[in-house]
Chain A
């Protein structure tokens, strides 16, 4: 074999070896899911103290139902099976004939829908009472860009559904992002308030502080007493322990401009409101976060927290959009919060 051929052969062998080494070097164009999980686990604290998982504290639930209207309703908490906590597990199929234009009711859930005009804007208000904490649920799209809200609603057997914080599918940034106990991110923020939902589906708000240790310590204290089912990273906090919060001058999402908004609040144990505000249309200008906080406070929320607004602000009832987007597009949702029935199908 002459020198030229030997050189060509050598180059060919090197090329083949290098090309086939891609088998071990390039497993995917995206980061592998198990690698992402490994990365995440390196940032997670020790959850071993949470041995009291699923020790639901429902004893006092019926006794809390004290005020007027929907909150007077007594839910038969006995003999109702809890829904599985698994992420993206749909609720039970609701009874189709029980839906009216203004709400839904079965033996495990009551939903009332109202449309209110305030601040030259349309507020869509869903007041919800559930029998078991597992009926407040979250779901995450399998698609990173999200799915159509009505599709989400149908897939999850949701009775009423709203957008979440959108952060389940973004890989970067701070925040505690948890959905149905699955952790997506675990990092304190000095700029953003947190919403934590515990095993009783009670809402807990943790404000941001000057240092990350403020949220880290607060989350640790929460975990000492509760199981964390869902955590959201958007805000700001609107109402904390019944007191309306002053909205910070600087916060994400232009809080001091009129925009479509979304918020969730808790009125009492197992009793909630989901609120969205139409905006950027001639019929509905949208509101500032201050105005949203005032509205949530006026509803009687003990805790209230703003979710992703703008085009993400979406409320769906009986698989139909209530939010009016005008000429703007309906944004696909990467994650949602919804209430489902727990009736035995």
Chain B
């Protein structure tokens, strides 16, 4: 199927058209939702005018950074990075571009950045839904592994793309459709979060990024389109994990402030079980990824650095047990995700593994969310 068309001799793409319409739907929803807010329609439109180029540029930068060797070494044509019209974008980069646009728009209209960002992420699921569905109008973007289960493929045909490979008919997961459905779920949850009283400014944005990041942990694993992959590392999955941990860090900091806990002391206590795990990896490998038996020097180096940090910051007072347990649980869940991800290739129980990874992704989101929930039970300080 030809995914392009021509207008006045200029080639356009169905993907780009759907992306453009999605942007308009998103901004239209934002204008409508906030028509009675202190900031007017102009602020949203200004955000859109800044957000479209910034989203494109940062998205392209992320893509090129993940594929830098392709442009610098394979092609030896770094200027090709400027060929925006040849395709190559990152969703994570686009989201960061939108955050920058919100920051600039808030500055220019003298609004509180965090409050404005909360307002802009509220309908962001609309945009992500459209962009994910647009992936279906490309050559293989958003396609996942072959699923060899007739029960599943026949009962949920919408979630599969059929493909002939040699003598076989394969049923590849249409991950882009799953991600589109998840975007609608995010949209619904954001409206639910908004109903929560005693929210702090910036809460909705952090919950959005934690939720989106949790989704990326699962869905990026399902994709087998090689998009944004450096060596064996799926970049958007790592960025998803990072966004959860950053949200968790900010919530921990806010929670600590209301409970008199000191961040550094909490972090120091958290390191004790991590050091035990590293020590274990130096004696006995957990799997071939988490194996330090052949790299004792590296393990000792990490332990010495962490030990130094402990000596400086570990005190008996100022730590908060809940924060320590939350961090330990979050880091263990991250480790579980890493181990599962690296053992999934070739697994005979791929659907079970996806279910487990989905469970871990839910847990990862629940760590910052639980702190948010607790804090909304008390009145906001600011």
- A residues in contact (CB < 8 Å) with B: 7-8, 11-12, 14-16, 18-33, 35, 39, 42-43, 88-90, 139, 141-148, 151, 154-157, 169, 171-174, 185, 187, 280, 311, 325, 328-332
Contact = CB atoms under 8 A, between A and B. Distances in A.
B166 A185 contact: no
A24 B70 contact: no
Contacts of B148: 151
B48 A19 contact: yes
Given A8-B45, A42-B77, A169-B226, A25 B138 contact: no
A26 B89 contact: yes
A200 to B, nearest CB: 25
Interface of B: 3-4, 10-13, 15-17, 19-21, 23-24, 27, 40-42, 45-46, 48-49, 52-53, 56, 67-70, 73-77, 80, 83-91, 131, 135, 138-143, 145-146, 148, 163, 165-168, 170, 172, 223-227, 229, 288, 342-347
Contact of B42 (A7, A21, A35, A330): A7
Given A143-B145, A147-B146, A155-B167, A28 B53 contact: no
Contacts of A24: 10-13, 16, 85
Given A23-B16, A157-B166, A173-B69, A29 B85 contact: no
A18 B53 contact: yes
A192 B143 CA distance: 32
A21 to B, nearest CB: 7
24 contacts: A7-B42, A15-B27, A15-B52, A23-B19, A24-B11, A26-B15, A26-B19, A27-B13, A27-B86, A27-B87, A30-B138, A30-B141, A30-B227, A32-B86, A88-B165, A144-B224, A145-B225, A147-B146, A154-B166, A169-B226, A172-B74, A329-B345, A332-B224, A332-B345
B167 A154 contact: yes
Contacts of A311: 288, 345
B75 A31 contact: no
Contacts of A155: 165-168
B75 A142 contact: no
A339 to B, nearest CB: 15
A28 B167 contact: no
A196 B185 CA distance: 51
A322 B162 CA distance: 29
A16 B24 contact: yes
A28 B80 contact: no
Given A11-B49, A145-B145, A22 B16 contact: yes
B224 A148 contact: no
Contact of B166 (A21, A90, A174): A90
Contacts of B87: 26-32, 35
Contacts, number: 210
Taking each of B49, B90, B344, which has the highest tally of chain A beta carbons within 10 Å of its own beta carbon? Answer: B49
Nearest to B224: A145
B135 A29 contact: yes
B346 A329 contact: yes
B65 to A, nearest CB: 12
B20 A90 contact: no
A161 to B, nearest CB: 12
B370 to A, nearest CB: 33
Given A39-B77, A145-B345, A332-B345, 16 more contacts: A14-B49, A15-B24, A20-B24, A22-B52, A26-B15, A27-B16, A30-B140, A33-B139, A90-B166, A142-B170, A145-B145, A151-B146, A172-B69, A173-B73, A185-B74, A311-B345
Contacts of B141: 28-30
Contacts of B10: 24
B143 A143 contact: yes
A43 B74 CA distance: 9
A328 B140 contact: no
B42 to A, nearest CB: 6
> Closest 5 CB pairs between A and B?
A144-B226, A155-B166, A172-B69, A330-B346, A145-B224
Contacts of B76: 43
Contact of B224 (A22, A30, A39, A146): A146
A73 B238 CA distance: 55
B20 A21 contact: yes
Given A27-B4, A29-B87, A19 B288 contact: no
Contacts of A90: 166-167
Given A30-B138, A151-B168, A172-B67, A19 B52 contact: yes
Contact of B88 (A29, A157, A173): A29
B45 A173 contact: no
Given A28-B15, A142-B163, A147-B146, A39 B343 contact: no
Contacts of A22: 16-17, 19-20, 23, 52, 56
B45 A12 contact: yes
Contacts of A18: 48-49, 52-53
